[in-house]
Amino acid sequence: MTLNWFFSKEIREATDLVRQADKLYRHQRDILTPQANANILKAIVELKAAIKRGATQNELTDLGNALNDAAGKWLRPYPAAGIRENVEVILVAIVIAMAVRTYFLQPFKIPTGSMQPTLFGVTAENLRLAKSPDSFPGLPARIYHALVGGTFYHELIAQNDGEIIGITSGKVARFINKSIIRVRYSGGDAVDHTLWFTPEEKFSERAGIGPGLRFKKGDPIVRMTEVAGDHLFVNRLTYNFRNPTLGEIIVFETTGIPGLAGGQFYIKRLVGLGGDELQIGADRHLVRNGVRLDANTENFEMVYGGGGTKEWKFLGHLNETHRTKFAPGLMAGQLAPLFPDEKAKYSIPAGFLMVMGDNTANSYDSRAWGAFDEKKVIGKSAFVYWPIINHDGHRWGWAHR
């Protein structure tokens, strides 16, 4: 029957007729007379059987006409049937999408750098004072970099001498941000310049500008790049069948966790389970139940932190580039108040978990706010779907650990 549907126009038309008539019949059968029900159902069943056995064209035509006559006599067509059917398709698609999001895969974006170098948050570079101002790519290249690499270029050249008198930034839609820079040029009124797809937060800081900034004609008022954070799918299915395991990257809700704002979702690496005892040794590595965790421990190969003898943190892998770029010089009391020295131990209650960010020198995590109920976990990191080529060029897909 499947092959016949592809090669026979008559079978396709008859199949569509049966589908439409059967749909109307099911919707209206409760208000039809017994005679109408019997006649319509008989015509539907006969045409279905003919389609299934591969009846001749003439037989399909005769049975199709009989079904058309019965439907026209007993069934009432819906007004604007085409619109109604399209709306039904859209609603079904929405329901399926919501079900997938709730029970299988939920989209999630990385807003900060706390999980670097495994997952990257939003980063920006101010090029306004760069020595090579002609380094910006042309429009086609910018579109390519935005779609494939999540890299956005922002540039605003001064039309005349003047200064910035105000900056406002905000979200227009879910994926669209804009910033309005109000400038006053010499001898003129205030002018608003709009930049699209700018950072939602800290635009002024990332662009290195602010009210009072003066410029000359032809100077770049704004010249910066922004790289979007990793967008990934969270696997919400797996933990319905098993518990999280050590080293997995998990996503959890923050409501009810002391020290965290409610109504948010965090993503961190699981470093301790219920019943574990954790401490941070003098070498700044995490010790779990007396066993030191480092870059040789499975699922902890990509973890790194920063330097400084008074920084108590889990380090794992750290090279000099990471040390220079990411270590902020945080003191132990700020970064890990629960672990003031190498003797401090933290026992995780049953049913609770502890997590840390891979960028341990720049992560606000369980070292500060302790363990949380495992019921708050919604899933595990599964698949980075955008940007396709990002930062180190190979994290798209299932590659991150």
Check whether residue 379 and residue 283 sit in a common domain. yes
Contact call for residues 234 and 266 (beta carbons, < 8 A): no
**pLDDT tops 90 at residue 116:** no
In a domain, 137, yes or no: yes
In a domain, 266, yes or no: yes
Q: Domain holding 324: CATH number?
A: 2.10.109.10
Alpha helices in 278-319 (DSSP H): none
Q: Domain holding 54: CATH number?
A: 1.20.1270
Out of 187, 204, 227, a domain closes at 227
How far, in Å, CA of 244 to CA of 250, rounded?
8
Check whether residue 245 and residue 357 sit in a common domain. yes
In a domain, 114, yes or no: no
- Chain mean pLDDT for the chain: 82
How far, in Å, CA of 155 to CA of 273, rounded?
48
Structural domain count of the chain: 3
Q: Is 250 helix (H, G, I), strand (E, B) or coil?
A: strand
Could you tell me what percentage of the chain is helix, strand and coil, using 3-state DSSP and rounding each to the nearest 5? 35, 25, 40
In a domain, 323, yes or no: yes
In a domain, 99, yes or no: no
How far, in Å, CA of 300 to CA of 314, rounded?
10
Check whether residue 221 and residue 248 sit in a common domain. no
How far, in Å, CA of 202 to CA of 224, rounded?
13
Tell me what pLDDT residue 71 has.
83
In a domain, 105, yes or no: no
**pLDDT tops 70 at residue 369:** yes
Tell me what pLDDT residue 322 has.
37
Check whether residue 205 and residue 284 sit in a common domain. no
Cis before 140 (ω within 30): no
Global confidence as pTM: 0.71
Out of 39, 74, 109, a domain closes at 74
Encoded tokens for 314: 């889990």
Out of 57, 74, 91, a domain closes at 74
Encoded tokens for 246: 């050590």
Check whether residue 235 and residue 382 sit in a common domain. yes
Check whether residue 251 and residue 354 sit in a common domain. yes
What residues make up the domain containing 15?
2-74
Tell me what pLDDT residue 330 has.
38
Check whether residue 379 and residue 235 sit in a common domain. yes
In a domain, 92, yes or no: no
Which residues, 6 or more positions from 9, have their beta carbon under 8 angstroms from its beta carbon?
none
Tell me what pLDDT residue 401 has.
63
Which residues, 6 or more positions from 74, have their beta carbon under 8 angstroms from its beta carbon?
32, 36, 39, 40
How large is the average pLDDT for residues 124-144? 79
In a domain, 101, yes or no: no
Residue 6 pLDDT level (bands cut at 50, 70, 90): low
Check whether residue 131 and residue 262 sit in a common domain. no
How large is the average pLDDT for residues 118-123? 86
Check whether residue 379 and residue 243 sit in a common domain. yes
Which residues, 6 or more positions from 47, have their beta carbon under 8 angstroms from its beta carbon?
14, 17, 18, 60, 63, 64, 66, 67
Residue 395 pLDDT level (bands cut at 50, 70, 90): low
Contact call for residues 83 and 32 (beta carbons, < 8 A): no
**pLDDT tops 70 at residue 166:** yes
Contact call for residues 189 and 213 (beta carbons, < 8 A): no
Check whether residue 257 and residue 200 sit in a common domain. no
Please give the order of strands across the beta sheet that includes 372-373: 105-109, 231-235, 377-386, 249-253, 265-272, 352-356, 372-373
Tell me what pLDDT residue 266 has.
94
**pLDDT tops 80 at residue 305:** no
Contact call for residues 256 and 373 (beta carbons, < 8 A): yes
Q: pLDDT higher for 63 or 175?
A: 63
How far, in Å, CA of 144 to CA of 44, rounded?
53
Residue-wise pLDDT tens digits, 290-303 = 998 887 888 887 77
Tell me what pLDDT residue 320 has.
37
Burial of 276 (0-12, 13-18, 19+ CB in 10 A): middle
Check whether residue 195 and residue 278 sit in a common domain. no
Spell out where 60-112 has E strands: 105-109
Residue-wise pLDDT tens digits, 33-70 = 888 888 888 888 888 888 888 778 888 888 888 888 88
Tell me what pLDDT residue 271 has.
94
Contact call for residues 278 and 287 (beta carbons, < 8 A): yes
Check whether residue 251 and residue 382 sit in a common domain. yes
